[in-house]
């Protein structure tokens, strides 16, 4: 490995598919606590949990959001990714978000937990032959044509910008003689949208405001790349103005995705 790896020469992939990431962060954390004897002396340092890795990335949306990044879905399986030539096989997505603003490209932010033995010392750059054959995407999602419906959001006026996110908890379950989990579950799944508008109508009641909206993501050629739906409650609203700007209203819409159980 060279002393310093260049951003231009590093790739990021899910499976075999290259993604145009503008940021990747990879880390690992061990849970270690001291073991003290009754006389106060230190016996040793002992693990209290598995080594848990964290990966976060931001990449341009060049098509539909990959199905394995559907955080609120039922699929709990791991994802395989590679970063600078290093394979990470036990990735578990836990949050995905993006922002839509006028005339701005849409960048997906994703966060993962990971478990496994990753050879971090083997980072390497792409070969020149790989770089020269890399395909340039035809479409990149953009706020120029993307939009969200507001007909079911009481009092909402012109939407200036909005953010969408999906999150869940990923608790891990281990056998007593293993350091890698046999299952990483999905719990407390939520979807949220925050919007900025010129008006939000009347102040919300104690029960909030019911809100249902569709988000349509398009590129600059009006090609629909993906759609997102949220059905929840508008739970907060605020108004803000600063010098040289217009008065803008902000609101948050939250949806809890329940776990359906089969009664026997």
**pLDDT for 2:** 54
Query: How is residue 59 written in tokens?
Result: 């990449």
For residue 40, being part of any structural domain is answered with no
**Cβ distance 237 to 203 under 8 Å?**
yes
pLDDT digits 0-9 by tens, 147-156: 999 888 877 8
For residue 2, being part of any structural domain is answered with no
Which residue in the block uniquely carries the two structure tokens 């061990």? 30
What distance in Å separates the CA atoms of residue 29 and residue 74, rounded to the nearest whole number? 27
For residue 65, being part of any structural domain is answered with yes
**pLDDT for 58:** 95
pLDDT at 13 over 60: yes
For residue 42, being part of any structural domain is answered with no
**DSSP assignment of 124-187, as one string?**
-PPPHHHHHTPPPPS--EEEEEEEE--TTSTTB--EEEEEEEEEEE--EE--TT-SS-SEE--E
Which residue in the block uniquely carries the two structure tokens 């790989």? 130
pLDDT band at 264 (very low <50, low <70, confident <90, very high): low
**Cβ distance 240 to 200 under 8 Å?**
no
pLDDT digits 0-9 by tens, 48-100: 888 899 999 999 999 999 999 999 999 999 999 988 888 888 899 999 999 99
Of all residues in the chain, the percent with pLDDT exceeding 70 is 93
**pLDDT for 71:** 95
Number of domains in the chain: 1
127 vs 115, which has greater pLDDT?
Answer: 115
Question: What are the phi and psi torsion angles at 213 (to 5°)?
Answer: -145, 150
**Model's pTM, two decimal places?**
0.87
What is the domain range of residue 65? 11-31+50-256
**Cβ distance 79 to 187 under 8 Å?**
no
**Helices and strands in the chain, H and E counts:** 1, 17
For residue 214, being part of any structural domain is answered with yes
Mean pLDDT of 206-217: 88
For residue 242, being part of any structural domain is answered with yes
Residue 16, CA distances (Å) to 82, 90, 107 in order: 9, 15, 20
For residue 194, being part of any structural domain is answered with yes
pLDDT band at 256 (very low <50, low <70, confident <90, very high): very high
**pLDDT for 155:** 79
For residue 262, being part of any structural domain is answered with no
Closest CA relative to residue 116, chosen from 82, 141, 162, 146: 82
């Amino acid at each position: 490995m060279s002393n310093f790896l260049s951003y231009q020469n590093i790739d990021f992939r899910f499976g075999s598919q290259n993604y145009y990431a503008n940021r990747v962060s990879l880390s690992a954390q061990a849970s270690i606590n001291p073991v003290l004897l009754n006389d106060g002396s230190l016996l040793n340092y002992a693990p209290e949990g598995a080594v848990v890795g964290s990966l976060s990335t931001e990449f341009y949306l060049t098509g539909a959001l990959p199905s394995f990044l559907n955080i609120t879905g039922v699929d709990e399986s791991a994802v395989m990714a590679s970063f600078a030539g290093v394979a990470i096989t036990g990735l578990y997505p836990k949050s995905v978000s993006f922002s839509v603003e006028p005339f701005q490209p849409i960048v997906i932010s994703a966060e993962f937990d990971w478990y496994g033995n990753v050879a971090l010392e083997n980072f390497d750059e792409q070969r020149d032959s790989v770089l020269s054959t890399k395909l340039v995407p035809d479409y990149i999602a953009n706020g120029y044509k993307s939009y969200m419906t507001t007909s079911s959001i009481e009092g909402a006026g012109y939407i200036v910008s909005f953010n969408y996110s999906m999150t869940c908890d990923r608790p891990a379950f281990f056998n007593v003689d293993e350091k890698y989990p046999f299952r990483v579950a999905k719990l407390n799944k939520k979807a949220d949208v925050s919007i900025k508008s010129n008006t939000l109508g009347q102040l919300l009641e104690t029960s909030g405001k019911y809100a249902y909206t569709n988000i349509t993501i398009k590129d600059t050629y009006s090609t629909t790349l993906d759609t997102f739906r949220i059905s929840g409650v508008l739970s907060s609203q605020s108004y803000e103005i600063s010098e040289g700007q217009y008065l803008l209203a902000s609101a948050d819409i939250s949806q809890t995705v329940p776990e359906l159980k089969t009664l026997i």
